[in-house]
Amino acid sequence: METTEVKKERVVAGRGLIDFVFSWSLEDVLNSNFYKGKMREIPMTFSSVKEYKESFILPLLEETHADLLLSMESLPRAPSCEIISVKRITQDYKLPKDFFYTIVLKLSKVKKNDAEGTYEPQCGDVIAITDAKPKSAGDLDRSKMSYVIAIVLEVQDNLTRLSILSSKPIPLVEDKMKDIKSGTLFAINLINLTTNIRIWEELKTNVEDHNLNIIRQVLQTNFVDVENCSICQHHLKEKHSSAYSNIIARIRSSELNESQKSAVLRCIDTRECHHQNSVKLIWGPPGTGKTKTIGFLLHSLLKMNCRTLTCAPTNTAVLEVTERLLKTAKESMEYDTYSLADIVLFGNGERMKIKDHDELLDVFLDYRVDFLEACFFSSSGWEDSLISMISFLEHPERQYGLYLTNRRVEDYEEDKDKKNEVLGKGETNRNQSEGTSDKSSRDKKDKKGNKVLNSVNVEILKEKEEKKKVEDMLSLKAEKKQPKHEEEKEKEQAEEDKKCDDFLTYEDFMKKRFGCIAERLSCYIVNLHTHLPTSFISQQTVEKMISALDSLNSCQKLLDEVVSRDEPGGCLKFSVARTECLEVLKSLPRKFPVPEFHDRWDIKKFCLENACLIFCTVSSSATLHAGRMSNALELVVIDEAAQLLRGTMYDSYSFINIAHGKEEFDNKHSLKNMVEVAVISEIVSSLHKNFIETKENVTIGIISPYKAQVYAIQENLKIYSDDDSSDFTVSVRSVDGFQGGEEDVIIMSTVRCNGNGSVGFLSNSQRANAGLTRARYCLWILGNAETLIRSGSIWNKLVLDAKKRRCFHNAEEDKNLAYAIAAALVDLNQLNILLNIDSILFRNARWKVCFDDAFWRSMVRVKNNELCKQVLSLLEKLSNGWRQPQKGRNVIMHDKISSQLLEYYKVNDQLYLVWTIDIIQENSNHIQVLKVLDILPLSSIAELEKQLEILFESYQLDKINRCKYKCSDGDLIVPMRWSISNGNAEANLVQDLVSKELAALDLTDD
């Protein structure tokens, strides 16, 4: 009997939505009124879950259509790429609509974030396939080949090979039935449907296939958010007599206002109730602290060990609420970063730009998996490193002997290989007697070498494992932080170290090996108590680990002192410290009760299943559901109060203090403040960048009571007024011009900045009210707090209220705003302010930055805002320890002192930043500071050198050496500090005495 094999039809997620998109003609897409009259208002009540879901289908289609229309309007700038090959996917290709193809793109010049529109494909991309790059939407129908719409289903081979589904057959391929020739087709990226497809799939899911009890309850017409459950309220106090009381007491004593406390308490009670509706809503107008309240609620749930998933609609919002929680959690942490493993941030690290948020790396899932993988999978992981350090401290002399023996063997083998190589390349006509002589010599050396090998063979086998561990000279953290392009440098450095490693002295061997093992072990200690959930590592173990860290640091310090002969009697101190260190290391567990991991996914699943709080976007939460975690979540918290920009300064309501503004009259006797204009321009620029990344619509209204300020802002924001995008709009008007208007974000510029509190007609409460009530979501007020407080008007109350509600911020808190202010002051020639602004710009830097007056005079003379920001950005990197490689640094070389102390960094083709390291006295210390001297063209640097040479010649040798001294922290250069009292301390230990004392140390157990 014959059997017929039935071919399975390929299933594409969101096929219904995709078919709708494919059905739209170009005329349909370009019709902005395509859905006009088809939409109906979403009702307030629903008779069923099915009706609830179906009511959102048309709005989703309308939104998808609007996105596609917007992409058509900017088609000339759309990312594009040449297609070099198109083939049918034979097993899936089927009429009438399954047009599956594999296409290959020419991506040789692709660069991330390329401004020229090169295309980096992603799954879910909707692309137009055409035989020519269109200059407008109309060109799609005017080319020889009618365009084809397709969606990207898979991306392979480093972004070059794509699996696609097209709306119709691709003509050139179907006509010729073979591969196309290079240059005949292009892929034009239009939109990405991934999020829309996820929504579509959820809306179209059978209501019987999912647990929708919560939605059913909320949709009931008689749904009431009941405050308390009488059944649970009685048992609650008995069940949690101590723990529950502590949480309640903490909430009541917090800095939350009464409304916020009440909201948190209701949510805590809801968690304990199993008899009523399990949905709570925390709501309020902008600026009432909803996200702050959620952060406090989450910390309370963490204390109660309640597994909670927290979702937000955007990556920005997720990062913000995670930061809020972390800030609160860290304030109550008793042991360093212990218990952070109970918190997980989950999502796409690239889209989150997680590398820009160091404070979140300890809770980001992918980084956690990296660290735990290194701890448990690495050949020199936690257990091996711990054993290696214990062995090293117990038998230092024995290991040094092994080191010397192995070095001799290596040298012998190396010498033997070299001689064999020379013999192999020798002249063929060499006489027999010379050859015999060489052979005899080699035989003697072979015998000698064999004797050495035989004598140490047993010892080498015995210590082989330890040798492997102690020779691992890399630190895990350094390995994680260094980019891949530095691997070559590491190899070169390793080769150089090997050359310098020939027969280290005993004390140098001790220092080097101890340092390398201690660095790796310390890294694992920190990673384990940070990234292992609290249920797998006890508080007592963490206490011992922290004690071990202190012991390792103490031993390292004492060993350094002994080797450098700075501390008489140091060997005895090191011996005591070593004994203590061994004791605490032996008390640490070699293994932890974690399950057996086979791969990264096992570790990831382990982290998610044992986390108490999980943060992700709403879309990422689908991945968690697909993972089928065995440890169920108890609560889901959804933060819909998403922010447009990160940072508390950009919460729903903020007063942003512009301390260094300057009010001035224009030629029509109206006031303006160009510093506020610069700040507004920077804020709008950030909002636009966020819009480009997220594609989230935003309308911005900028209000000022003064016409001159309105004109100045309009002039600065002209680029956004000319933007073709209708989803990012900026409107700048006077207070009167905004009567009755409303925008998503309102930025109000108050302009006034003077010492006497004069605010003129700004004090009119009606005008103030008209300006302050125009925001849908965010209201940000810019002004000089001191002036407004002194005015005694309604603005006095507003500023004080903002401070009371913690909505008051100094503009300089945002680095980009600080740069914008500095650039504006340069443009205004406000030298007196600039000379004192260094502490504002670099208050959080690792280096103290001092400016010479000549630098600011040069900046004022140049008067170039972009150059100013460029220079300040360079200075920020310098102040945090970054240094240019030697290439591109000092441009003039000679043997004078200035060539040793001065640095010249190229800013652009014309100008160089001239700086040096200076020494200042601070309290009882001498410290290195970064002194910025000037910004000059190359031709003027020689003259500056002559002037400074006189100053440098007056320096004592001690000061010159301190200026030249470089203290490294990884790849960064950090400032050195010398105690004045100990500056002349000298140690007179003799080298051989140190060696003798160190060699005598051996803690072998009897």
Q: Which helix (H) or strand (E) holds 689?
A: helix 674-694
- Residue 457 is given by DSSP the state H
Mean pLDDT of 433-443: 47
Residue ranges of the alpha helices (H) in 785-846?
Answer: 785-790, 794-804, 815-827, 831-834, 838-841
Residue 727 has pLDDT above 80, yes or no: no
How many Å apart are CA 547 and CA 532, to the nearest integer? 18
Does residue 96 have a cis bond before it (omega within 30 degrees)? yes
Mean pLDDT of 390-409: 83
Give the rounded percent of residues in the chain with a pLDDT score beyond 90: 18
Residues 946-1003: tens digit of each pLDDT? 888 888 888 888 888 899 888 888 778 999 988 876 544 333 333 343 444 444 444 4
Task: For residue 566, name the pLDDT band (cuts at 50, 70, 90).
Answer: low
Residues 787-832: tens digit of each pLDDT? 999 998 889 989 998 998 888 999 988 888 888 888 888 788 776 6
Strand intervals (E) in 938-976: 967-969, 972-974
What does the radius of gyration of the chain's CA atoms come to, in whole angstroms? Answer: 35
More confident residue, 380 or 384: 384
Write 331-339 long-range contacts (CB < 8 A, 24+).
Answer: 332/299, 335/529, 335/539, 335/542, 335/543, 335/546, 336/526, 336/529, 336/530, 336/542, 336/546, 337/362, 337/526, 337/529, 337/530, 338/529, 338/530, 338/534, 338/537, 338/539, 338/542, 339/534
How many Å apart are CA 436 and CA 736, to the nearest integer? 107
Cα–Cα distances in angstroms (integers) from residue 864 to residues 820, 824, 851, 861, in the given order: 12, 9, 19, 9
Residue 412 has pLDDT above 70, yes or no: no
How many Å apart are CA 117 and CA 535, to the nearest integer? 49
Task: For residue 425, name the pLDDT band (cuts at 50, 70, 90).
Answer: low
How many Å apart are CA 151 and CA 136, to the nearest integer? 21
546 close to 593: Cβ distance less than 8 angstroms: no
* Maximum average pLDDT range among 46-55, 311-320, 888-897: 46-55
Residue 569 has pLDDT above 80, yes or no: no
More confident residue, 435 or 209: 209
pTM summary value: 0.55
Task: For residue 69, name the pLDDT band (cuts at 50, 70, 90).
Answer: confident
Residue count of the chain: 1006
CB atoms within 10 A of CB 591: 8
**What integer pLDDT is reported at residue 988 of this predicted model?**
35
Which range is least confidently modeled, 463-467, 624-628, 929-933, 977-981?
Answer: 463-467
Which range is least confidently modeled, 131-145, 775-789, 845-859, 885-899?
Answer: 885-899
**What integer pLDDT is reported at residue 229 of this predicted model?**
60
- Residue 472 is given by DSSP the state -
Which range is least confidently modeled, 157-166, 191-200, 440-449, 624-633?
Answer: 440-449
Q: Which tokens go with 113?
A: 């974030």
Strand intervals (E) in 92-157: 99-106, 125-130, 148-156
**What integer pLDDT is reported at residue 426 of this predicted model?**
53
Task: For residue 494, name the pLDDT band (cuts at 50, 70, 90).
Answer: very low
Residue 208 CB contacts under 8 Å (≥ 6 apart), including other chains: none
527 close to 381: Cβ distance less than 8 angstroms: no
**What integer pLDDT is reported at residue 210 of this predicted model?**
67
How many Å apart are CA 98 and CA 92, to the nearest integer? 7
**What integer pLDDT is reported at residue 145 of this predicted model?**
72
**What integer pLDDT is reported at residue 673 of this predicted model?**
94
652 close to 772: Cβ distance less than 8 angstroms: no
318 close to 616: Cβ distance less than 8 angstroms: yes
How many Å apart are CA 749 and CA 733, to the nearest integer? 11
Domains of the chain, by residue range, sit at: 15-204, 660-827, 848-975
Strand intervals (E) in 578-662: 613-617, 635-638, 653-657
Task: For residue 466, name the pLDDT band (cuts at 50, 70, 90).
Answer: very low
Backbone angles phi, psi at 209, to 5 degrees: -85, -10
Per CATH, the number for 660-827 is 3.40.50.300
Residue 173 has pLDDT above 60, yes or no: yes
Biggest CA pair distance of the chain:
113
**What integer pLDDT is reported at residue 995 of this predicted model?**
43
Residue 635 has pLDDT above 70, yes or no: no
848-975 CATH fold = YaeB-like fold (3.30.2310)
